[in-house]
Chains A and B, each alone.
Chain A
Amino acid sequence: MASATIAPALKQPAWTNDRNVLRVLAIVFVVFVYVLPLIDDSTKTMDFMTKAMIYVFLGMGLNVVVGYAGLLDLGYIAFYAIGAYTCGILTQAFHIPQWAAVPGVVVACIIAGIIIGGPTLRLRSDYLAIVTLGFGEIIRVTARNLTIDAPDGSPMVRGPSGMANIEQWSFGGWSFTDGLNIGGMFIREQVIFYYFVTTIALVLGVFGISRLANGRLGRAWKAVRDDEDAAEAMGINTYTTKITAYIIGAVWAGLAGQLSATQQLSIAPTSFEFLFSALILMAVVIGGMGSTPGVVLGAMFVSLVPNLLRNYEWAENRYLYFGILLVVVMLFRPKGFWPATDILPWSSEKIHKWLTARKAAKAGKDLIATEEDTYE
Chain B
Amino acid sequence: MTQVLIDGLFLGCVYALIALGYSMVYGIIKLLNFAHGDIFMFGAMIAFTMLTAVPGLQSAGIVAVFGVLILSMFLTGGTGVLIEAVAYKPLRSAPRLSLLITAVGMSFVLEYGVKQFWGSKSITWPQWAQMGAGSIPIFDGTITISRLVLMAVSIALMVGLGFYINGTRQGRAMRAIALDQRASTLMGVDVNRTISLVFFIGSALAGAAGVMFGMYYGAIGFMMGFLLGLKAFTAAVIGGIGNMYGAMLGGLTLGLIERTTVYFCNGDDSWKDVVSFGLLILFLTLRPTGILGDRVVERM
Contact = CB atoms under 8 A, between A and B. Distances in A.
Is there any pair of Cβ atoms, one from A and one from B, under 8 angstroms apart in the complex? yes
A72 B284 contact: no
B108 A134 contact: no
Contact of B273 (A124, A138, A326): A138
Interface stretch (B72-80, B88-96, B121-129, B211-219): B88-96
B117 to A, nearest CB: 10
A277 to B, nearest CB: 10
A45 interface: no
Contact of A72 (B90, B97, B226, B230): B97
Contact of A137 (B113, B277, B300): B277
B204 interface: no
B277 A135 contact: yes
Interface string A234-274: 00000000000000000000000000000000000000001
Interface stretch (A94-102, A314-322, A357-365): A314-322
Given A145-B270, A331-B90, A331-B91, A125 B233 contact: no
Nearest 7 A-B pairs (CB), nearest first?
A: A323-B108, A326-B105, A320-B112, A134-B277, A119-B285, A323-B109, A327-B105
A334 interface: yes
B115 A330 contact: no
Contacts of A60: none
Contact of A319 (B108, B230, B234, B285): B108
B154 to A, nearest CB: 24
Range of interface residues on B (Cβ < 8 Å): 35 or more
B116 A320 contact: yes
Interface in A96-150: 119-120, 122-127, 129-131, 133-135, 137-138, 141-142, 144-145
A137 B102 contact: no
A351 interface: no
A133 B229 CA distance: 12
B24 to A, nearest CB: 15
Contacts of A122: 299
A343 interface: no
B104 A278 contact: yes
Nearest to B298: A124
Contacts of B97: 66, 70, 72, 125
B66 interface: no
B32 interface: yes
Interface of B: 26, 30-32, 34, 87, 90-91, 94-98, 100-102, 104-109, 111-113, 115-116, 226, 230, 233-234, 237, 270-271, 273-274, 277-278, 280-281, 284-285, 288, 297-300
Interface string A34-73: 0000000000000000000000000000000010001010
A134 B283 CA distance: 13
Give the contact-size bracket for chain A.
Answer: 35 or more
Nearest to A130: B233
B263 to A, nearest CB: 18
Contacts of A317: 112, 115-116
Contacts of B115: 317, 320
Nearest to B282: A119
A131 B284 contact: yes
Given A124-B298, A125-B96, A324 B284 contact: no
Contacts of A66: 97
B297 A320 contact: no
Contacts of A324: 105, 109
Nearest to B33: A126
A145 B96 contact: no
A119 B281 contact: yes
B284 A125 contact: no
Contacts of A278: 104, 108
A220 interface: no
A145 B271 contact: yes
Contacts of B101: 72, 281, 285, 326, 330
A327 B98 contact: no
Given A124-B298, A274-B226, 17 more contacts: A70-B95, A70-B97, A123-B297, A126-B32, A127-B237, A129-B100, A130-B233, A133-B230, A135-B277, A137-B230, A137-B273, A141-B270, A141-B274, A278-B108, A323-B107, A323-B111, A326-B105
A371 to B, nearest CB: 52
A74 interface: yes
Contacts of B90: 331
A70 B101 CA distance: 12
Given A138-B274, A138-B278, A320-B115, A330 B299 contact: no
Contact of A124 (B104, B107, B300): B300
Contact of B106 (A72, A285, A323): A323
Contact of A327 (B102, B273, B277): B102
A144 B272 CA distance: 13
A228 interface: yes
Interface string A323-338: 1111100110010000
A330 B113 contact: no
B298 A320 contact: no
Contacts of B230: 130, 133-134, 137
Contacts of B280: 130-131, 134
B8 to A, nearest CB: 20
Contact of B102 (A134, A135, A330): A330
Nearest to A128: B300
B274 A330 contact: no
A327 B98 CA distance: 9
Nearest to A229: B299
Nearest to A119: B285
B91 to A, nearest CB: 7
A134 B273 CA distance: 9
A129 B274 contact: no
B105 to A, nearest CB: 3
A278 B298 CA distance: 26
B279 to A, nearest CB: 9
Given A130-B32, A274-B226, A278-B108, A331 B274 contact: no
13 contacts: A70-B97, A129-B32, A134-B234, A134-B277, A134-B280, A274-B226, A317-B115, A323-B106, A323-B109, A323-B112, A326-B101, A326-B108, A334-B94
